[in-house]
Structure 1
């Protein structure tokens, strides 16, 4: 429990709101339960935000930032596109835990909220652009690279969904290798 004298930042509140979002969507974001979870009074909340809507907007901005371009920055810095894709798929498969909450999947129920639509759109665009760029660097023509990126991203989201709803979902190195085998284009044959 956080000591009352410890000052929480606005980002601390946004991250706590993200955990609530992952567990239950927008409806799960409520100031009093978050204050209890953080071990502080509601006064701490009002030192950073005027209302719940501001907190939700901040939480969605934090998620879009950390799961969009900024979250992909380290991987994007890998020069070899094959290694970059291998690393991404390995990270995704290893990060998927049975019954684990997911902000992305939880937000689907709130997709008509413009803030949610914008945040999910921003994350989707960043991830699809990253995958498309990687596939183009692997030699696929632009239209095929975009299609392959969409199918790979759909599979990634599908893995998250299966893990969230199925406690027996596989989570292993074998699954990562299978994903790599499926989504990494075959190397062109070496000329003699």
Structure 2
């Protein structure tokens, strides 16, 4: 069992129950290992939480967005990004991002969420600028698009009857891609 396996298990626990859900014994049971495996990688729970947050930032911040940032055509970039986001939102699925918001007073959480939000907003703003919007409108449009994405994540956690992701993808593209 690697340190990254533990960090990813901690992220699943965070998605289900926030930072309070990160506990060594339950995670060890989930992973099918002993607590000794944990202590081979981390000296305490706080180190695991810090590693899990770093893993989340890596996967959802600049590094996780690199594939989209590399798409030269901004319209295609926005379509692909919206498609991936909307298709990843599943009914009643837990969300690390939304769960972390309940722990936003923890400085580690605040920093991780800030890094991810900033990376996402910068990519969206850049995309809207490349689509021809002036800087202030590009930033505003990016914020509204991002707020809608977070709203979809929230609704998916509470609404099992949400429309199919293909319908939502078409609607998101129609709304957020400038004509």
Give the drift of 1:54. Answer: 0.3
Misfit runs of 4+, over 6 Å: none
State how many pairs are aligned.
179
TM-score (norm 1): 0.92
CA distance in 2, matches of 1:174, 1:41: 45
Q: Which has the higher helix share?
A: 2
Partner of residue 122 from structure 2, selected from 125, 129, 135: 129
2:135 is the alignment partner of 1:145: no
* Contact 1:98/1:167, CA 8 A, preserved across alignment: yes
* Contact 1:97/1:171, CA 8 A, preserved across alignment: no
2:36 is the alignment partner of 1:43: yes
* Contact 1:93/1:171, CA 8 A, preserved across alignment: no
Give the drift of 1:173. Answer: 1.4
Give the drift of 1:43. Answer: 0.3
CA distance in 2, matches of 1:60, 1:90: 25
- The residue number in structure 1 matching 2:105 is 112
CA distance in 2, matches of 1:57, 1:130: 25
* Rg larger for: 1
TM-score (norm 2): 0.99
Secondary structure class of the residue paired with 2:164: coil
- The residue number in structure 2 matching 1:74 is 67
